[in-house]
Amino acid sequence: MSDKFHHKYRISSSRLQNWDYGSNAMYFITICTHNREHYFGEIDHGKMQLSALGSNANVLWYEIKNHENHIELGEFVVMPNHVQSRRLSITILSMALALPFSALGLT
């Protein structure tokens, strides 16, 4: 498969090889921005200052419960170039969450 991507994009998996990721479990998730750009805001004097997009990411985190009732949201943090959950408990992994760019204010 590395030939398909010419060793450019494909990295080896950091997933635990003997874990069933379709099982009920608690997960830690990090979603990074493209090229690690600071789309979500900046840190000023040790405090995160959310941009409009960062505010949207903050609101949309809580919206997950309005779309899927098999997820228990835990703590999360919006940083300049990523959103990180500290606890996301998924009881059924039979759904896919996809948000259009318009929902993020990117259009």
Task: Tell me which H or E stretch contains 85.
Answer: strand 82-85
Rounded to the nearest integer, the mean pLDDT of the chain is: 77
Tell me whether residue 11 is in a domain. no
Q: Residue 88 pLDDT > 80, yes or no?
A: no
Tell me, yes or no, if the pTM score tops 0.85.
Answer: no
Domain containing 86 equals 21-104
- Separation of CA 37 from chain center: 15
CA distance 63 to 104: 12
Tell me whether residue 2 is in a domain. no
Tell me whether residue 3 is in a domain. no
Which of 106, 98, 102 is closest to 31 using CA atoms? 98
Q: What is the mean pLDDT of residues 7-21?
A: 72
Q: Residue 40 pLDDT > 90, yes or no?
A: yes
Domain count, the chain: 1
The pLDDT assigned to 22 comes to: 73
Q: Residue 106 pLDDT > 60, yes or no?
A: no
The pLDDT assigned to 7 comes to: 62
Tell me whether residue 97 is in a domain. yes
Which of 46, 56, 57 is closest to 85 using CA atoms? 57
Amino acid at 2: S
61 or 100: which leads in pLDDT: 61
Q: Residue 94 pLDDT > 80, yes or no?
A: no
Amino acid at 102: S
Tell me whether residue 70 is in a domain. yes
CA distance 93 to 87: 15
